[in-house]
Structure 1
Amino acid sequence: MIKKLLKHLYSRIVPSELAVFPEIDVDLDQFKSLLKGKVLNAGAGWRDVSHLVDGELINQDISWPGDERTNIQIYSPLHRIPVPSNYFDAILCIAVLEHVENPEEVVPELYRALKPGGHLILEVPFLQPEHKVPTDFQRYTKDGLVRLVSHHGFSVQQIKGLFTVYHTLYWQVYLWLHLKKTITYLILRVLLLRPLLWSARRSKTYSDTLASGFQLVATKQRASPS
């Protein structure tokens, strides 16, 4: 009885772990002018970005056991995309690189597939908890991400930290307090999570050293060999 009561109270007063984060549209809407022509959504998962694209959206991903998705046009490893060089006008790669074992092979493949003058829009985690979908290999600092894409030919146009310090803290604290469902932990959730959620929704305090992740926009300058 007590366990059921705690579970009910928990679901009523504690927001979900991702409730604090804005929808992906909020991040990407600013780039709609770049998402024209043939646009690759690399590592698409279940994410639908079709309403942001003015042109042809092509979703790519690896296949999963029991995969029932109908939105994927290209099934392939991300470091071997079966398209000609200089093919896409823009590439989205959102929260994907942390899940690939070989980013040093993936980034040059994205470069190869992108047209000269095309844009790569990339988002990666920094101070985020591990999230296996199904694997999770790395995190990126600002300098590390710039180095990775620049080393493989991209010209970085902009990079910024994602979300506020309160977003970063909320996710960490949420997972810590999610470990146990006791009265003590329930009280701590109310005392800590609600103020963090309130602050995250109102604060404009951004910090690259405490960023939840980074968002990078880069361009390709030269054509790849056919």
Structure 2
Amino acid sequence: MFRNLAGTTNQRDREKWLEKTLKNIRKGSRILDAGAGELQYKKFCTHLNYVSQDFCKYDGMGDGSGLQTSSWNNSKADIKCDIITIPEPNGSFDAIMCIEVFEHLPDPIAALKEFNRLLSQGGYLILTAPYASLTHFAPFHFYSGFSRYFYQKWLNELGFNIVEIVPNGNYFEFLRQEILRLNYMAKEYATKAGSLRLVEYFVIWMILRTLKRFSKNDNGSDEVLCYGYHVLATKR
């Protein structure tokens, strides 16, 4: 009923930005996919010397809390280790991408320091992370998200020049995403109330249409809330 109305652009827009950004990296460059999981972004790196890393402890079930995937196969990772101690020489990568991983790291700043060590001078750092997120992949979920100010402060202090910080979505799109999740959340956490009723579907449909109209006329609401940020930086 709610198809094409809203809240479905998060992953699509992130992957479009990532594919475009990776295409601009010189052919043959050595790239590290840090926290690669199931290697879903390897498909964008066919022109690169791709190396994947993951800690390989998440199994799809986690501790059973929050949002889980039920299945998860990270067995194909090239390097299995903690993201803050990757057994590769200094300056051994021309680029590093770390996509939707930071909220799962106990110490994301330590990860940035490790990325700086691993990158060659002028090397590219490609990051995305949520600005706000529900609990997922628990117990490996340590932060609800990261603002643009996190990147502006820490990338500068840790030896990177920011090329771009691009917001993904806006306040209205974020609300639409979560409203679309309402029926699932009700079934999971309000079981006595049952599923959405017909009149409630209609109310939600109207709200989604309203949010779509607001989003089309958005004028910077991402400064308050958005899906997350796409960040490109280079090592000084």
Q: TM-score, normalised by structure 1?
A: 0.79
Choose which of 51, 63, 67 in structure 1 pairs with 2:56: 63
Choose which of 152, 164, 188 in structure 1 pairs with 2:203: 188
SS at match of 2:24: helix
CA contact (8 A) 1:115 1:220 kept: yes
Counterpart for residue 224 of structure 2: 209
Choose which of 124, 128, 131 in structure 2 pairs with 1:123: 128
CA contact (8 A) 2:7 2:173 kept: no
**Are 1:14 and 2:5 matched, yes or no?**
no
CA contact (8 A) 1:125 1:140 kept: yes
Q: How many residues align?
A: 207
CA contact (8 A) 1:97 1:124 kept: yes
Identity of aligned residues (%): 22
Distance 1:199 1:26 in 2: 23
Distance 2:50 2:129 in 1: 21
Counterpart for residue 5 of structure 1: none
Distance 2:43 2:58 in 1: 28
- Mapping of residues 26-37 of structure 1, within 5 Å: 26-31=16-21, 32-34=23-25, 36=27, 37=29
Comparing 134-143 and 75-84, the one that deviates more: 134-143
Instruction: Specify whether residues 176 and 35 from structure 1 end up closer, same or farther in structure 2 by C-alpha distance, changes over 3 A only.
Output: farther
Instruction: Specify whether residues 217 and 197 from structure 1 end up closer, same or farther in structure 2 by C-alpha distance, changes over 3 A only.
Output: same
Comparing 66-75 and 208-217, the one that deviates more: 66-75
Q: Which amino acid aligns with 1:82?
A: P
Deviation at 1:178, TM superposition (A): 4.0
Instruction: Specify whether residues 61 and 203 from structure 1 end up closer, same or farther in structure 2 by C-alpha distance, changes over 3 A only.
Output: farther
Deviation at 1:102, TM superposition (A): 0.7
Q: Which blocks of at least 5 consecutive residues in structure 2 are unaligned?
A: 60-71, 187-194
Q: Which blocks of at least 5 consecutive residues in structure 1 are unaligned?
A: 1-12, 222-226
Instruction: Specify whether residues 18 and 63 from structure 1 end up closer, same or farther in structure 2 by C-alpha distance, changes over 3 A only.
Output: farther
RMSD (Å) for aligned C-alpha atoms: 2.7
**Are 1:42 and 2:34 matched, yes or no?**
yes
